[in-house]
Each structure stands twice: as C-alpha cells, then as structure tokens.
C-alpha cells in the first residue's frame, strides 16, 4: 500500500527492466512507484545461477540479483508496492492505472511487466500442474528426486532446465519437435555431455497420462516425421518452450506485434503513446536476457526523464 496516489513515474513490473528503470528515475529525483506484480522480481526469481550478468565473476543467484536491484532503487526513494494492474487509461494525462488494491495516477509509465512461461495447452495440463507437470524447474525440481522426467523444448531454457534437473532426477529426456536445437552451442554441449540426459528428436507430446491421485505416469507422444504415436513412461513433465509477453492490459491500446510484444520505436523504448515506454521482455522477443532487460530499463528511464522535462 502506498501513502500517495500520484507519481511522476509509474513502473509496471519489478524484474531487471523495472528495477533498473526505477534506479535511474528515482536517482534523478523523480517520484517513482514500482508495481511489483504477481511475481515480484520477475522471472529471475525462478532461476538459479545467473552466470552472465556482468560484475559477478562467480555468478549470482537470480533472486539475490533482483533483490539487490530493488534495494538499490529503494535507496534513491523508489516506492515498491505489491499490486497487480488491471486497467490503464492511456487516453489522457495524467494516466490512470487501476490495480487490484489501489488506483494511481502518473505523468509517465514504464511498462516492464515481462513475460510468462508458455505451456502446450494439453487437455488435462492445468489439472496436472503441480502433480507432475511444471513450467519451472527451479521451483519444482526438488520434488523429482530419483525420478525419470521429460523436458519439452530445444532452446537455452530447455537445456538449462534439463541440466538443472539432473541434480535431482535419475534421468532427464529432452523431447524436441525437430532434430536441431535452437539453444546456443555452450548450452547444447552442457546438456549433451551430461550422462543423465537423453534426447528424443522429432517428437511432440499429445497427451498426459495419470491423475492428481496417482501423479504423472506417462505421455502420449508422436513422431513428427513418421506420424507414429506411442506411450512414453515418465514421472514428470517440464515445459521449456518459451514465453508469452504480459501485455493483455494494453491490447488495443498500444501497438503490438502478432505475438503480443509491444512495439517500440527504433533505438528507443517509446511506444505509440507519448509518455508510455516499454522495457525488457514485454518488448524484446529476441534477446530476453537480464542484462538487455536492465539496459532497456535504463533507456526507458532516461527517455521518461526527458519526456517529463519537456
Ligand atoms: P526459445 O529460444 O524461444 O525456445 C523455445 C523452444 O521451444 C524451441 O526449441 C521451440 O522449438 C520449442 N517450442 C516452442 N513452442 C513449442 C510447442 N508448441 N511444442 C513444442 N516445442 C515448442 O525460448 P527459451 O529457450 O525460453 O529462450 C528464450 C531466450 O532466453 C533465448 O534468447 C535464450 O537464449 C535466452 N535464455 C538464455 C539462457 C542462458 O544463456 N543461460 C537461459 C535461458 C534462456 P523450435 O526450435 O522448433 O522453434
């Protein structure tokens, strides 16, 4: 809960993009509020070691990194509030931002609401979430000690999650719909050199076997080349198939691409509405790194500052 309702800068989201923006705007003496969202700290809070954020020779844990960023922003006066935005009136300034708990007005908005893990949309997927199905290896890996599990995906996330899961599981099978990985060479090598990991190529999951009572018992899978359908015995299913940007509240208000990523002007974080900026994974479907999110958060803050000055 915040004691006031009007801010110069309102930041939606508290991952690296949001917190970097807040560090810059609050340090520039702009009254800044950060609405933390349902997952305070963002996706880094469900990751383990971050090895590629400059300044941490030995790496840093994701949750620790975002916690430090938050403290740094708070040191300059940024106000962090747990609230979830349900509606934004972008038609007039000051902008009105309605949340589950409170309503705020602000002179500028920095959207840094990030992205959410994508799932396959299988028939009983939602029922089985937490009963053998997961979209977060670091959250749930612990529950799969000595079990045989499947990771779906062929990108860096799939490799990272599979390697992480070998800390617990007896065996991890990476099911990928093609026979070529999208993941970077270094991540591929880590997975391929791990003796607990096997690859199942050209394969998609069609159904989940099991129930909440008995847990996950297997998968119905299909070979994308031969069309052959078969059963695959496994006790866990982890999705690592990318992310969807959290931009629903801006639908029909801001320009977006066909996947829902907010379109920003070239070399800028400006959206199609003056005073509204977008930073991090909501506008970046390409790089999606903590450091690029932080970088665009910085850009958004500087652009918001210039906008407010003018
Ligand atoms: P991604 O690169 O978009 O990869 C998603 C993977 O899931 C792809 O292999 C894709 O298959 C597969 N996929 C998507 N939809 C599917 C479906 N419906 N059914 C089956 N498979 C499906 O996503 P990501 O791995 O989450 O990575 C996102 C970004 O974060 C990337 O830029 C990545 O480099 C970065 N990242 C970096 C690190 C690191 O460096 N430590 C760790 C994690 C993520 P196709 O290949 O056939 O399209």
Q: Are residues 35 and 184 in the same domain?
A: no
Angle between helices 290-309 and 62-75 (to 10 degrees): 20
**Listed residues 223, 239, 255: the one ending a domain:** 239
Helix (H) or strand (E) holding 126: helix 125-128
Segment 294-304 shows an average pLDDT of 98
Q: Are residues 266 and 296 in the same domain?
A: yes
Q: Are residues 198 and 53 in the same domain?
A: no
Instruction: For residue 140, indicate whether it is catalytic.
Output: yes
Give the pLDDT confidence of 36-51 residue by residue, as tens digits. Answer: 998 899 988 876 678 8
The pLDDT of residue 165 is 96
245 exposure class (CB count in 10 Å sphere: 0-12, 13-18, 19+)? buried
Select which of 49, 89, 136, 298 is catalytic: 136
Classify the C-alpha dihedral 6-41-243-184 as positive or negative. positive
Give the pLDDT confidence of 71-111 residue by residue, as tens digits. Answer: 999 999 999 999 999 999 999 999 999 999 999 999 999 99
Any domain includes 1: no
Any domain includes 28: yes
Q: Which atom of ligand 1 is nearest to the CA of 118?
A: 15
Any domain includes 148: yes
Tokens 């992205």 belong to residue = 115
Q: Are residues 285 and 140 in the same domain?
A: no
Ligand 1, atom 34, lies closest to the CA of 156
Any domain includes 151: yes
Any domain includes 91: yes
Q: Are residues 213 and 66 in the same domain?
A: no
From the list 224, 183, 232, the residue with the least C-alpha distance to 202 is 224
Distance 181 CA to ligand 1 centre (A): 9
Model pTM?
A: 0.79
Any domain includes 225: yes
Distance 297 CA to ligand 1 centre (A): 23
Q: Are residues 105 and 247 in the same domain?
A: yes
pLDDT surpassing 80 at residue 2: no
Task: Return phi, psi of residue 208, to 5°.
Answer: -110, 130
What CATH number did the domain enclosing 258 receive? 3.50.50.60
Confidence of residue 126 (pLDDT cuts 50, 70, 90): confident
Contacts 24+ apart (CB under 8 A), 266-273: 268/299, 268/303, 269/110, 269/296, 269/299, 269/300, 269/303, 270/303, 271/111, 273/90
Structural domain total, the chain: 2
Instruction: For residue 298, indicate whether it is catalytic.
Output: no
Tokens encoding 215: 């847990």
Residue-range definition of the domain harbouring residue 156? 119-239
**Listed residues 239, 258, 273: the one ending a domain:** 239
Q: Are residues 281 and 215 in the same domain?
A: no
Segment 240-255 shows an average pLDDT of 95
Q: Are residues 24 and 68 in the same domain?
A: yes
The pLDDT of residue 51 is 85
Q: Are residues 14 and 83 in the same domain?
A: yes
Contacts of 48 (CB under 8 A, 6+ apart): 61, 62, 138, 164
Segment 211-236 shows an average pLDDT of 97
Q: What is the percentage of the chain residues whose pLDDT exceeds 90?
A: 87
Any domain includes 164: yes
The pLDDT of residue 205 is 98
Q: Are residues 61 and 92 in the same domain?
A: yes
The pLDDT of residue 305 is 98
**Listed residues 239, 257, 282: the one ending a domain:** 239
- Find the residues whose C-beta lies inside 6 A of ligand 1: 120, 152-158, 160, 177-178, 182, 204, 240-243, 287-288
The pLDDT of residue 75 is 98
The pLDDT of residue 117 is 84
Q: What is the percentage of the chain residues whose pLDDT exceeds 70?
A: 98
Any domain includes 74: yes
Per-chain mean pLDDT for the chain: 95
Calculate the alpha carbon distances from 169 to 205, 234, 235 in Å.
Answer: 20, 11, 10
Q: Are residues 78 and 52 in the same domain?
A: yes
Give the pLDDT confidence of 150-209 residue by residue, as tens digits. Answer: 999 999 999 999 999 999 999 999 999 999 999 999 999 999 999 999 999 999 999 999
The pLDDT of residue 243 is 86
The pLDDT of residue 136 is 84
Confidence of residue 285 (pLDDT cuts 50, 70, 90): confident
Residues 150/173, Cβ–Cβ less than 8 Å: yes
Q: Are residues 127 and 212 in the same domain?
A: yes
Instruction: For residue 136, indicate whether it is catalytic.
Output: yes
The pLDDT of residue 49 is 76
The pLDDT of residue 86 is 96
Select which of 83, 106, 107, 140 is catalytic: 140
């Amino acid at each position: 809960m915040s004691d006031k309702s009007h801010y110069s800068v309102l930041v939606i989201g508290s991952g690296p993009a949001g917190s970097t923006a807040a560090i810059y705007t609050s340090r520039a003496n702009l009254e800044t509020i950060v609405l933390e969202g349902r997952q305070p700290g963002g996706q880094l809070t469900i990751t383990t070691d971050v090895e590629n954020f400059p300044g941490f020779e030995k790496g840093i844990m994701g949750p620790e990194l975002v916690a430090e960023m938050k403290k740094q922003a708070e040191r300059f006066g940024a106000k962090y509030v747990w609230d979830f935005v349900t509606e934004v009136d972008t038609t007039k300034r000051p902008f009105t931002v309605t949340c589950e708990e409170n309503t705020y007005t602000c002179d500028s908005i920095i959207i840094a609401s990030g992205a959410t893990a994508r799932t396959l949309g299988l028939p009983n997927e939602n029922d089985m979430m937490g009963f053998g199905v997961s979209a977060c290896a670091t959250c749930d890996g612990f529950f799969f000690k000595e079990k045989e599990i499947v990771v779906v995906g062929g990108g860096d996330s799939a490799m990272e999650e599979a390697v992480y899961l070998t800390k617990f599981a007896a065996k991890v099978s990476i099911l990928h719909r093609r026979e070529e990985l999208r993941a970077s060479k270094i991540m591929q090598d880590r997975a391929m050199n791990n003796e607990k990991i096997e690859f199942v190529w050209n394969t998609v999951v069609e159904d989940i076997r099991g129930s909440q009572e008995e847990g996950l018992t297997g998968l119905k899978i299909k070979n994308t080349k031969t069309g052959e359908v078969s059963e695959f015995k496994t006790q866990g299913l982890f999705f690592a198939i990318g992310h969807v940007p959290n931009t629903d509240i801006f639908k029909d208000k801001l320009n977006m691409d066909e996947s829902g990523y907010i379109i920003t002007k070239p070399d800028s974080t400006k959206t199609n509405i003056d005073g509204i900026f977008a930073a991090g994974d909501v506008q970046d479907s390409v790089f999606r790194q903590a450091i690029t999110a932080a970088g665009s958060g910085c850009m958004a803050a500087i652009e918001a500052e210039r906008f407010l000055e003018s």
